[in-house]
Each structure stands twice: as structure tokens, then as C-alpha cells.
Structure 1
Amino acid sequence: MSNHTRYLQRRGDTFSFRIAVPSDLLAIIGKREFIKSLHTTDKNIAVPLALSLAATAKHLFNNLKTSMSEANDNKQRDVLIEVKKRMRLIQEKEQGEGALIEQKLAHLREIKQVKLKAENDAFKRALASSRAGGVSIPIANKQGSAVAQESPLPQVKPKRVIWHRLSEIVPAWIRLKNPALATVEIYQAAVKRFEGHFPELYAETIEKRHMREYIEWLKSEGLSSKSIEKEHGAIRALLTIAEHEEWIVLNPAKGIMLPALKGKKVRSYTPEECKKIFNSPVFLNGERPIAAKGEAAYWIPLLMLFTGARREEICQLTTERVKESDGISHLLINPIDDDGRLKTDESQRAVPIHNELIKMGFLAFVKKQAEAGGGQLFPLLKPNKREQYGAKWGDWWGRYIRQTIGITDKRISPAHSFRHLFITECKRLRFREDYERALVGHVGGSRKDAHDEYGELLIPELAVELNRIDFRGLNLSHLHMLNLGRTHE
């Protein structure tokens, strides 16, 4: 049975709504299921009516459970008497229920191009039935005939049900979480895929079985375990917002088993690979492909190597962020992830400029850029709509590493593997944890401890430690200004 017909049954040509009573309410309610005629032979009308009744019925079931668990003995007895005496399950105001049904039918027209007209007799009957004194559930008496109970159940009066598409939750998630634009796009893509597979589902009607089915479908579509984890994470986060707003009771995406991750593990460049990189045409012959964005081709890889900084942190540097303190030249680096988002759990870092970079003429390059007007250190880099300055450059660098230099190991992340190498060097040389953190920011789960709040490391101390890094004897003296005879402008 499909997801949207599980609450439907046919009696002759007419559709009826049918829902089972939860097992822990059987003794209270005194019957196993509720059945109500929907007064229509048109399935396109019956589906939204049944789904609406199902959502409201589930809401009432939850209210009944709460009433029984929180009430005293006398109250419990009153609830039991009331529920057994009459079985009216749903009571809505005329305008609310009618508007709800019309809203769902409008959506149904949109997603399935169902041609329903207001003058359709079946539609009129279904709508009129929903408005006529509220919607009630018939109860079978001893003779088997249906008797509708009309008196209300005050302590568990259901609220008007309003459903939320996942796409309608995205704005609330953005407002609460303030995510990066790149993350928003990932979530929107996940929602589009989910709603394309389950066009009839709302946050209030998604169940664990739907999530399990969705995961299996993603696997059948050939998505990697990592991609499935991201898709599931997006849906789970949006349903967490729905849970927070009390639109749903429990998040059906929680506790879902995901495929084991088999994704690649990023590794560092080896010294031998670094030697190949820095003896390639860009560094030896001065080649500057258009996509390499001028001197960004030369300096960004060297800066990532000798600072351990992220790609975006380097690409967004300005001439004003190259400073000198206590005779030590250093970079003021804002913690920016490669999605272009400022990392609020990290502070600005002062990273000394390695002696090798100075010998290569980096400070001379900065001076020339400042004299030309300053601003962006690499002015040919332009931000994309996600405010990433290095995205296009990163695409070129990836091609250069794999096609020109010939490093094709899939575990290599063309830009990020420099950061891995730098951190590996810090550990090889047994840097103190606070020194390592001062240079590269948070690594993995590391965070500041209480002692870090009582003082700052002096830049000269950091410079001494930083200049111990030699990448196991990597020789880049051929790039020194004295040997190269030029600055990179």
C-alpha cells in the first residue's frame, strides 16, 4: 500500500477514512479502529481528506495519552467515561477545516496537475461534510449500525491542523541557524530530492519508515555513503526545527541506520610530491594560466604550505593584514572555512611569516601590492555568490595537480592536503598543543582550555617554533629571490 492510501478503504465505489487505534489506547477507547465515509468516489479528493483526518487523529491520540498520564485518579476516570461514552474523534471549526482541505487540494493540483473544479459535485459533498458541524467518526453499536457521537471532548480538544512542507521549514532553519550560503544550497537540494520522491508528505506525516525507504532509494540511485549522510543530515535538521516548533512530537529522522562510510581519507602531501609541485612550470618557468589568476598561482600554494591555513583564509588576505610586531612579520588570519563562512568558534590568528617565504620575496610582493593601492592581496580573485574568493582558483589548482603534475591519488585534496602536511609537521616536531592551536586554529575536537584565557602567546615565540618546520628537509632554495633573480608580481 502506498504512503498516501494507507488511511483509505473502499466501500463499494465510495472512499472511507480508516485509522487504527494505538495499542496503548485500546483499553481507553474500547475499539481497534475508526472508520468514516469521505462521501466521494474521487480518489484525488479522498487522499487529502484522509491525510488531514489522519494527522488530526494522531494529534488527538497524543493528547489522550498526555491526559491519562498527567491526570489524577478522578480525572482519569472522567476521561475514560467520556471517551467510552462517545467517540467523536475530530471537531474543527467550519472555516478552519474547509480552508485546510482547500489548501491541500490546491497543493495536490500543483504537484499532480489534478484538474478539480469547485463545482464538482463530489468535491462539494466532501467539503460540505467536513464543514457540517465538524468532522466526526462513526461508532458501531451492538447492532452494527453507525452512530455519530456529537458532544465534544473538552480536555483534549484538537487544534486546527496546519501542515508544513520541508521546503516551508527552510526559512525557519535559516533564521535560527544562520548557515553559510553553501550549506543552504545543500539543504535546498536535499529537500528538492526528498519532496520529489515523496510529493505527498509533510513534516507532520513523515514517519521512520519513510526515512528508511528514502535511504534505500538514495543507495539505489548510486549516491555515496558520504552523500547519503549529508542528505539525511539535512532532512533531520529541518525536522529538528519542526520538533522545536512543536509541529511534530518526535523527529522521525533520528535513530536511522545509515550505510557505513567508505569515503576517502584525505592525506598529506609527501615531501617528494611537494618537490614535484614546486619544480613545476608555474614555479620554475613563471607560467600564469588565465584561470590561475596571476600571482595567486604562485603564492597561494606556498602560503598554504608554510602557514597551514585554509584555502579561503589565504585567498581573502589583504595587504593590511600583513603586519609587523616585535620585529616579526606576520599574517592576521580570519578563521574562514572553505565555504567562505567565518568560523565563530575560532579567534583571529597571528601567524608569523616563515623565513622561507621571506627569502622567496613574499614581503616584497606585499609591498608592491600595497603601493598599487592595497586591498586584496590577490585582486584577480573575485567572490562567487557564496562569498568564496578561492573556489574558481581551487578548481584550476585541482586540475593542475592532477593533470600537469600527475598526482592522481584520490586521497589528496589539492588545497587541503597542505594543511594536513603542516599539522603533521607540528606533531612530528612535538609542538605544544597551544602553539599548534595558535598557528592553525582548532584541529579536530581540540578547543581552548581554561588556562588559554589568561594570556597570549608572543609572536616571537611562535616564530621560533614555526621556523623549525622544514618538511623533513624539503629544499626550496631555487625559489629564493637571490637565486631566482626576480620577485613574483
Structure 2
Amino acid sequence: MCTYLAKRGATYYFRRAIPVELRPAFGGRAEFMLSLRSKDRAEAKLRIPAHTTETDKLLADAMRSLAGKPASKPVPPMSPTQIERERSRWEAEQQQADYVADELFAADMEAEKLGPIMDALSDGKEPEGSPADIARAGRLAVLHEREKAGADIAALHARYGQSARASVGETQAVECEPATDSGLYLNKDILDRWATERGVVPKGKDTHKAVAEWFYARTERKPVERITRQDVLAFKDKLLAEGQSVANTNMKLSRLRTLLGWAYQNDLAPANVAEGISVKVADSGKGKRLPFALDELQAIFASPIYANGERPKGGKGEAAYWLPLLGLFTGARLEEIGQLRVTDVQRREYPDQDGEMLAGWFLHITESTDERGQANRIKNAASERLVPLHPELERLGFIAYIEKLKDQQGRVFPDLVPNVYGRLTAKWGEWFGPYMRTVCGITDKRKVFHSFRHTFKDYTRRAKMPEGIQRQLMGHAGKDVADDYGSGYDLHSLGEAMASYRVPGLVIGKA
């Protein structure tokens, strides 16, 4: 059975010969040749069936269109000059196809790097990252989603018989036919359909609606298919002229790009006219979140909450004490910790390498809704995990605190109250930032609660913890296909690795 799998360089292609008698219907081409946009054989093979089905249809259509026509005259043999010209043309087209494929693969690799930001943008959440990374992630999100949706199949009809263009953008400009006036507007029709399809949380929908209304207020209110690239450029210029920061401008452009991209993917607009439009950031590292230095950690854990047992009102009781500690000794995200239920703190038994049974405490970070309707949300599939409780947390009394809670079916931090969007730690985060700046003296705005996650990553490296275990503990997706095999590291390996984690020089007193 023919698999139609071919490889040029490191990239895999779908390659299928066109019968001689049908080639006139395809401009004389001898074969279908379409990049599978992958350098992994297994992944590339998964994309072949869709291309096979589509080319079957194209061949059947060509056969029907030629059936009633008189047989064409025999094609005279080509001269050596014609053969050389045809060969040169074919090689040029293949080189261009390889170039485009490599660009797309490079985009995929960058998308993997920027995956967490892309996830946040797709879910309508506030992303964490530098303005430059957020801007790049917004551009890549549309390309990545189009590929997953099989947009290359839909483009095959328009693309076939034409030479490869210098860029994806040029191809789109040539292929796209103006859509009929649907009367669909960004801030209502497109927004509602996008939010429903993607399951966007209310906050995400509200922030995207606000941007759509900003856009209309500064350009012209028109249906989505009539919005032009000049409109988006004018919007960008007006935001900057009004004094919006580069970061805020790029955020608004990213959200606008998401809505326009969804409309394009669903054939409601001729193109995503916002693709590639952003404000370039001169210093891409300026807004990057940074890990805490040792003296800053000492300032936090020697502050009145830890030294004097104070519990500020904004700190929501014991959450003020435990959330920073859990951030430092688990590397988990703030909301992942804040939404923990008592039942998520679990005593697990597991065998060591010799089969001897051991037991330890773990935090079960998962997305679920319990019998009371208490819902936990996580960022993505890789975020669901068991995290061993660090011995320092046990020493400081975390398990004792859990066991004393009156409601053993409720939240670990019952004083945290969800905001209008359901985030339990939103208000707590608003308190912690000023507490760090004023009480702890940490004035660098790149140091936030998320810096505990960066700090955890730094110290896991110092402990020479295997990269795969680091990713599993932190809820990061694997780097390659091999990481998707098996069920991950066993509890014994995770527990040993966590026990090796140290923050040398840091002294924390018991509550």
C-alpha cells in the first residue's frame, strides 16, 4: 500500500503522482507535493489520510471534467532545452516549497517555546511573559490553530497549479476571494461564536469584547469581512498616539488578531488582516519575569507574617503564610495552589526500586468539580499532576494545618473568595504585590508571585534534577514526541527528586 510519504531534507511531504491523462487538468503537473510541516515521521503520517481523501476528490473531479472532451493530440517530445527548462522550474518550485516548509517548522518550534503564552491567549486568560514574547505568541497562535484545523487542505484547491509564493502571507493574498457581506461584527457575532466554540471564560470574553469596541471606536464600525489591514494599522497608530504603552498596545492587537483569526479560519473573512502587526520592542527582556535572589527570599520569609505571626486582612488568613511557601517549594502556579481542596492533599503509597513500599504526601493538581460544585481549573493537559510535598513544608507544619481544618471536604484556604471570573487568588495577588514592595522592600516590578516558579526552576537545575522530572513537577508539556510515551516518572522518582531540592542559605521559622 502506498503511503504517499516523502522526505526532502529533514521535512516530510505528502507526495502523490497524477495520472498522465489527468495532468492537463492540473496545469501539466506530474504530482501533488504538499509539506506535512513536520520533521517527525510518526506525526507526519497522521496527516496523510486527510490529504489522501482530498486528492482523491480532486482526481475524481478532474476525471469527470475530462470525460466528455475529445482526446487531446499526442504531446510531442520535448527538446533538450525544454527538458532543462522544465527541470530548472521544478527544482526552483521545490526549493521554494522547502523554504516555506522550514519556515513553518521553525514557527512550530517557536510555538512550542511560547506554548504557555499561546494557551493563555487562546483561553482568554492574562498571559505571563515579556511583551515581545506575548506579541510573537499572538502571531503564532493563528498559524498553529490553522494547521491543526487542516487549513492547508482547504487551500489545496486554490493553491494547486500555482507556483509556491515567497511567503504564506503572499499566498493568502492571492488565494482569498472576498467573502459576501455577512453583517457579522467583531464585538458581538464573532465574539459570541468564538467564545462558545473555545469555551472561553467570562473574563476572557469581556477583555476581547473591550478590545473589539476599542477598535471600532478608533476606526470605523464595519462587518468583519470588510475590515482591512489599513484599519488595523490605523488602530495601532492611534493607540500609541493616545499614550498606550507598547505592552498594552501589543496585548490589544493580540486579542484583535485572535478574533480576526477565528473569523478567517471559519470562512467569515477573506484573511486575518491583523496577522504580523505588532509594535516591536527594543528591549525584549525588559518585562521578563525574574526569579527571586536569596536576599529577596529572606526578606519575604523574615517579614512580619513569618517572624511575628501577623495575618494581614488582604492576605486572607493562613493563605498569607502558606501560598508563598508552596510557590517556592512546589513551583506550582498561584491559582493551582489557591484552589486546592483538602482532598487534593493525599497520602500515597508507592514501591521503591527494590519493591519495598513507601508512603508520602502529594498535592494532586487536577481539573475537576467535586460534589459541592467546587471547580478546579488547570492550564492544559500537562498541568494535571501529582507533586510530592517537600520535607520543608512538612517540617513547617503544612500537614498539621490541613488536619486541623474544620471542613475536611472544603478548600485548603477557605478565606479565598473568587472574583467575578471565578479566580480564587485574584484579590490575594492584588494584596501580595504591594506587600512585597512596601513591607519586604522588593521594588523590581519584574519580581511577582510567578517569580517563585522561576526560582523553583533555578534551584531544580542546581540540584541537577533531570529535565523531564522538572517539567513533570511544574506541569510543563514535553519537548518532543518521545515525552508523550509512557505515563511519566513514577512517584518514587518524583519524591527522591523533590527531596534533593534545596534553597541554600534560606532560613524559615515555623508558623
Determine if contact 1:190/1:234 at 8 Å carries over to the other structure: yes
Determine if contact 2:327/2:452 at 8 Å carries over to the other structure: yes
Determine if contact 1:313/1:335 at 8 Å carries over to the other structure: no
- Alignment-mate amino acid for residue 440 of structure 2: I
State the alpha-carbon separation in 1 of the partners of residues 292 and 179 from structure 2.
60
Shift of 1:188: 1.2
* 2:208 maps to 1:213: no
- Alignment-mate amino acid for residue 394 of structure 1: G
Query: In 2 relative to 1, CA 335–276 (structure 1 residues): closer, same or farther, beyond 3 Å?
Result: farther
Determine if contact 2:219/2:234 at 8 Å carries over to the other structure: no
**What is the SS of the residue equivalent to 1:411?**
coil
Shift of 1:461: 1.9
The aligned runs of 1:154-303 (5 Å cut-off) are: 161-167=181-187, 168-260=189-281, 262=283, 263-303=286-326
- Alignment-mate amino acid for residue 404 of structure 2: K
The aligned runs of 1:236-385 (5 Å cut-off) are: 236-260=257-281, 262=283, 263-326=286-349, 327-334=359-366, 341-369=377-405, 371-385=406-420
* 2:425 maps to 1:390: yes
Determine if contact 1:288/1:295 at 8 Å carries over to the other structure: yes
Unaligned runs of 5+ in 2: 1-64, 67-177, 350-358, 369-375
In the other structure, the counterpart of 2:78 is none
Determine if contact 1:187/1:234 at 8 Å carries over to the other structure: yes
State the alpha-carbon separation in 2 of the partners of residues 467 and 160 from structure 1.
62
RMSD over equivalenced CA pairs, Å: 2.5
Shift of 1:374: 3.4
TM-score, structure 1 length as denominator? 0.61
Query: In 2 relative to 1, CA 218–442 (structure 1 residues): closer, same or farther, beyond 3 Å?
Result: same
**What is the SS of the residue equivalent to 1:324?**
strand
In the other structure, the counterpart of 2:445 is 410
In the other structure, the counterpart of 1:428 is 462
Determine if contact 1:172/1:241 at 8 Å carries over to the other structure: no
Identity %: 33
Query: In 2 relative to 1, CA 159–466 (structure 1 residues): closer, same or farther, beyond 3 Å?
Result: closer
- Alignment-mate amino acid for residue 346 of structure 1: A
State the alpha-carbon separation in 2 of the partners of residues 451 and 344 from structure 1.
16
Unaligned runs of 5+ in 1: 1-70, 73-157, 480-487
- Higher mean alpha-carbon deviation, 186-195 vs 455-464, is at 455-464
State the alpha-carbon separation in 2 of the partners of residues 464 and 366 from structure 1.
23
Determine if contact 1:293/1:380 at 8 Å carries over to the other structure: yes
State the alpha-carbon separation in 1 of the partners of residues 250 and 278 from structure 2.
10
State the alpha-carbon separation in 2 of the partners of residues 242 and 309 from structure 1.
35
Query: In 2 relative to 1, CA 463–202 (structure 1 residues): closer, same or farther, beyond 3 Å?
Result: same
- Superimposed CA distance per residue, residues 369-410 of structure 1 (whole angstroms, 9 cap, x where no aligned partner): 1x5443101101111121100011111111110111111012
Query: In 2 relative to 1, CA 429–166 (structure 1 residues): closer, same or farther, beyond 3 Å?
Result: same
Shift of 1:160: 6.7
**What is the SS of the residue equivalent to 1:325?**
strand
The aligned runs of 1:86-105 (5 Å cut-off) are: none
- Alignment-mate amino acid for residue 164 of structure 1: L
- Superimposed CA distance per residue, residues 281-313 of structure 1 (whole angstroms, 9 cap, x where no aligned partner): 011111111111111111111111100011001
Shift of 1:453: 2.5
**What is the SS of the residue equivalent to 2:506?**
coil
Please tell me whether Structure 1 or Structure 2 has the larger radius of gyration of its CA atoms: 1
- Superimposed CA distance per residue, residues 329-383 of structure 1 (whole angstroms, 9 cap, x where no aligned partner): 11111279xxx853233242111111111111111001011x5443101101111
State the alpha-carbon separation in 2 of the partners of residues 302 and 171 from structure 1.
40
Shift of 1:448: 5.9
Shift of 1:182: 2.6
State the alpha-carbon separation in 2 of the partners of residues 231 and 192 from structure 1.
11
TM-score, structure 2 length as denominator? 0.59
Determine if contact 1:334/1:348 at 8 Å carries over to the other structure: yes
In the other structure, the counterpart of 1:442 is 476
Shift of 1:159: 9.2
Determine if contact 2:333/2:453 at 8 Å carries over to the other structure: yes
State the alpha-carbon separation in 2 of the partners of residues 193 and 335 from structure 1.
34
**What is the SS of the residue equivalent to 1:454?**
coil
Query: In 2 relative to 1, CA 448–402 (structure 1 residues): closer, same or farther, beyond 3 Å?
Result: same
Shift of 1:245: 3.2
Determine if contact 2:316/2:428 at 8 Å carries over to the other structure: yes
- Alignment-mate amino acid for residue 214 of structure 1: F
Query: In 2 relative to 1, CA 352–294 (structure 1 residues): closer, same or farther, beyond 3 Å?
Result: same
In the other structure, the counterpart of 1:135 is none
In the other structure, the counterpart of 1:110 is none
Shift of 1:259: 2.8
